[in-house]
Chain A
Amino acid sequence: MAFTRRGFVQTVGLGSAAALTGSWIGARGRENALWSAFEPTLQAVEPGLICLSSNENPLGPGKVVMKAVRNAFGEGGRLPGRYSGTSDDLIDAIAKKFSVKRENVVLGCGSTQILRTATHLFTAKDKALVGTIPTYEECAGYAEMMGHPVRPVALDAEFRMDLDKIADAAKGAGLIFYCNPNNPTATYVGAKATRAFLTKVNRESPDTTILVDEAYFDYVTDPDHDTHVPVAIENPRVIVARTFSKAYGMAGLRLGYAIGHADTITKMKEWDAGSGTSSLNVLALHAGLAAIEQDASFTAAERARNTAARDFTLKWFADRGMKPTASQANFMFVDIGRPAKEFREACRAKGVLVARDFPPFEKTHCRLSFGTIDEMKKAVAVFGEVLGKKAATAA
């Protein structure tokens, strides 16, 4: 019962990989507060701080969505007193956007609920979770908590997911967590390679489910880019997770969804006891509907904004000899040649928040999210001051 994540992962032992696993989720869980009952919750972001720690859209959901939230209060502001009721309209809108059927869609309280459910459903004592290291920690956290084995797979030299190694590790596994672009490394595997990977895993390990997390989908600018929803609706072993927390700017509202084969989606709903909307707040349901019904210009504008901030920030680091990975997301992973903790604390003292540790690279690399271009101009000034000093700890 003791909450010894680290201890557990070490017992899994996977030859040379074991050295890596010990620290997979040694840092905080996804976007910090995953296990807040046991770990101190981070301080809220004080006014005036530049928050580059959580891969959020710095502009929020925009006017159309916030108007929908206002309307959701109903007459006299009474509506939040009512249970959320049916989510049929939002599910229909999502189904329409992706040209799928409503049976292919399940909503979640953020994609976190989707990831939780998938991990519970598709891993077991004898069905491992496979994922790259580092990646977003949530699935691994759940698997470990339940005593289900976790198989971490090292990245390639470019900090990309190593698809051959993942496919090898997946033989006989229960679930692959495939976050693309990958958090925290920001690298992206093209659509063609991903499709080939899905086919290969299906062939070599037909009982393994692959959860393709497309959280950062809208930030990708690589031309070889496509959603894997069409594969998912045909293939019971592929699920796509999406969230309103990133490009749609709704991290505070808690709304995500999965798209997959009707049989798989039914299983996921069943696991959550067919509880429908019980985890979804009514404001999020209204906001989500308004968000998804916007035309593509909303995400296009957010992508363009992010791309400009990304180009600016990547260049700033590259110009100073610090190598970022090839970011296709709204954050970057960069070799700062010193521990992330040291950098983080120094930046925080100057009003800029950057992300938690991501073992096994916590001694050299930092993840930072892209704020607005104004925020990034202020942030790099702080980075310049902090990184201009000699590292207190030799990397």
Chain B
Amino acid sequence: MLQSRRDFLGVLNGGRAGFDAGEWLAARGHEDFQAQAAQGRRPRVELPPGVKAVKINSNENPLGPGKAALDAITRKFPEAGRYPFNSTPGDGQLVAAIATKFNAKPENVVMGAGSQEILKSAVRAYTSPTKALVTASPSFENCPGVAKKLGHPVVAVNVDSAFRLDLNAMADAAKGAGLVFLNNPNNPTATVHGAKAISDFVERVRTSSPGTVILIDEAYHDYVTDPAYQSAVPMALSTPNVFVARTFSKAYGMAGMRVGYAIGQVDTVKAMARLRMPYNISVFGIAAALAALNDSQHLEQERARNTEVRAFTVKALEGLGCKCTESQGNFLFVDIGRPAAELRDACAKQGVLVGRDFPPFEKTHARISIGTLDEMKRATAVFRSVLRPVTTTAGR
């Protein structure tokens, strides 16, 4: 794998790796950018000179796209000047390929510039001043962020004592609501619900509040190892008012390419199609996503890699007395017994970037993404130095 990457770079850079121009852009992931922009802060990380950051703050695939996807991008360099519908393959072929993957029709699929475009459009389409958004607390903040900007009510249902979505309470809250945002596995708590729990939930909401739309965000689908879990896509395709959001940003390693989609019945996803930005996927994004869809080996490797490193990291943290929730994602939600900000600031000084605050658990829990094994070895060493029992903070 490494060798092939080097081959790829050889082609790319004439045998010599270019300067890491992305460093200035990627010092923090988009997720943090968004959170910090909301706080009016310019997101920039000051690292000690010469220290290369371990970025485990945005739930990204640390290895990036697979070789097939990278090759597909470079092959499209001659088409950089062409609109996405003029490229070969064009955007229509990507939609068709996704539809085929799920035995669906192209009209069941709506592309987004990342699944965030889908999430934003869903809130616009399905909530209103009288139709609330129901979400979990904590969960991915995008939907409630948009709803609040629009002045639409948000009902945030606390996770249960095991940091799992409280589906019963969410179903109760869904009565009369416009949209339910259900993140499975849930970011940041990393927990997952099995297929039966999800279908029971959908059934219950469909019965008690048939006008409510349910958005099941499966961003971390490919990292789940729990056999009870199944994708809700088949259900979405056969059930009105239910749709699934997916992204190429996580296991496919393409967060920087901005490719995501909604899939569900035509009447449900139409609302996202209407709000969609025209040609929202770049020529390179189209080519990379198509190649990635056909590269199941890369996906399996990435899942196996994540599972292994996740186990390593959980063990290391639990060795420090820090309990993790049952993670089914590429990140951990861990009780560090002190404010997340304290860990974050202390780790940043040693070049390790961990996740933002997730109220209401910001005083006790941190979210830590799973990097490469080498990165997590370095990170856990830093955690050890930061999280070691201390009697005073004066000396730190």
Binding site for B on A (CB under 8 A): 1, 3, 29-38, 40-47, 51, 53-54, 56-61, 65-66, 68-89, 109-110, 112-113, 116, 138, 145, 245, 249-254, 270, 272-287
Whether the Cβ atoms of B30 and A281 lie closer than 8 Å is: no
Q: How far is the CB of B108 from chain A (nearest CB, A)?
A: 10
Q: Known contacts A56-B83, A110-B279; decide if A80 and B253 are in contact (CB<8 Å).
A: yes
| Beta-carbon contacts under 8 Å, B61-98 to A | 61-65, 67, 70, 73, 76-93, 95
Whether the Cβ atoms of A276 and B22 lie closer than 8 Å is: no
Q: How far is the CB of A152 from chain B (nearest CB, A)?
A: 20
Whether the Cβ atoms of A57 and B34 lie closer than 8 Å is: no
Whether the Cβ atoms of A81 and B37 lie closer than 8 Å is: no
Q: Known contacts A57-B81, A279-B117, A281-B282; decide if A82 and B33 are in contact (CB<8 Å).
A: no
Q: Known contacts A44-B87, A110-B279, A252-B84; decide if A282 and B22 are in contact (CB<8 Å).
A: yes
Q: Kindly report which residue of chain B lies nearest to residue A279, judged by CB atoms.
A: B113
Query: Which residues of B lie under 8 Å from residue A251 when comparing CB positions?
Result: 81-83, 86
Q: How far is the CB of B372 from chain A (nearest CB, A)?
A: 10
Number of interface residues of B (CB under 8 A): 93
Whether the Cβ atoms of B26 and A83 lie closer than 8 Å is: yes
Query: Which residues of A lie under 8 Å from residue B253 when comparing CB positions?
Result: 78, 80-81
Residue-wise interface mask of B (203-245) relative to A, using a CB-CB cutoff of 8 A (1 in contact, 0 not): 0000000000000000000000000000000000000000000
Whether the Cβ atoms of B20 and A54 lie closer than 8 Å is: no
Query: Which residues of B lie under 8 Å from residue A1 when comparing CB positions?
Result: 267, 270
Whether the Cβ atoms of A85 and B80 lie closer than 8 Å is: no
| Measured CA separation A276–B35 after assembly (Å) | 10
| Measured CA separation A274–B40 after assembly (Å) | 10
Known contacts A251-B83, A251-B86, A275-B34, then 7 further A-B pairs from the complex at CB < 8 Å, ordered by chain A residue: A73-B22, A78-B253, A80-B253, A86-B42, A254-B280, A279-B116, A283-B73
Whether the Cβ atoms of B257 and A282 lie closer than 8 Å is: yes
Q: How far is the CB of A83 from chain B (nearest CB, A)?
A: 3
Q: How far is the CB of A182 from chain B (nearest CB, A)?
A: 19
Whether the Cβ atoms of A76 and B5 lie closer than 8 Å is: yes
Q: Known contacts A82-B29, A253-B284; decide if A31 and B279 are in contact (CB<8 Å).
A: yes
| Measured CA separation A253–B85 after assembly (Å) | 12
Query: Which residues of B lie under 8 Å from residue A272 when comparing CB positions?
Result: 120
Residue of A3, A84, A138, A252 with most chain B CB atoms under a 10 A cut-off: A252
Interface-lining segment among B8-16, B331-339, B386-394: B8-16
Residue-wise interface mask of B (275-309) relative to A, using a CB-CB cutoff of 8 A (1 in contact, 0 not): 01111111111001000000000000000000000
Whether the Cβ atoms of B44 and A252 lie closer than 8 Å is: no
Query: Which residues of B lie under 8 Å from residue A250 when comparing CB positions?
Result: 80-81
Query: Which residues of B lie under 8 Å from residue A36 when comparing CB positions?
Result: 85, 91-92, 95
| Measured CA separation A253–B286 after assembly (Å) | 11
Q: B145 interface residue, CB < 8 Å from A?
A: yes
Write 24 A-B pairs (CB below 8 A) sorted by A numbering.
A1-B267, A36-B91, A38-B273, A44-B85, A66-B77, A66-B80, A74-B23, A75-B17, A77-B64, A79-B22, A79-B26, A80-B64, A80-B73, A81-B61, A81-B62, A81-B64, A82-B55, A85-B29, A110-B279, A112-B280, A252-B76, A272-B120, A279-B277, A286-B25
Whether the Cβ atoms of A279 and B280 lie closer than 8 Å is: yes
Q: B110 interface residue, CB < 8 Å from A?
A: yes
| Measured CA separation A281–B256 after assembly (Å) | 5
Partner of A44, one of B20, B90, B278: B90
Query: Which residues of A lie under 8 Å from residue B12 when comparing CB positions?
Result: 70, 73, 77
Q: Kindly report which residue of chain A lies nearest to residue B76, judged by CB atoms.
A: A252
- List the 3 closest A-B pairs by CB distance, nearest first: A83-B30, A81-B64, A252-B283
| Measured CA separation A59–B78 after assembly (Å) | 9
Whether the Cβ atoms of B44 and A31 lie closer than 8 Å is: no
Q: How far is the CB of B271 from chain A (nearest CB, A)?
A: 9
| Measured CA separation A33–B270 after assembly (Å) | 15
| Measured CA separation A58–B86 after assembly (Å) | 12
Q: Known contacts A113-B277, A245-B83; decide if A47 and B116 are in contact (CB<8 Å).
A: no
Q: Known contacts A73-B12, A79-B256; decide if A253 and B283 are in contact (CB<8 Å).
A: yes
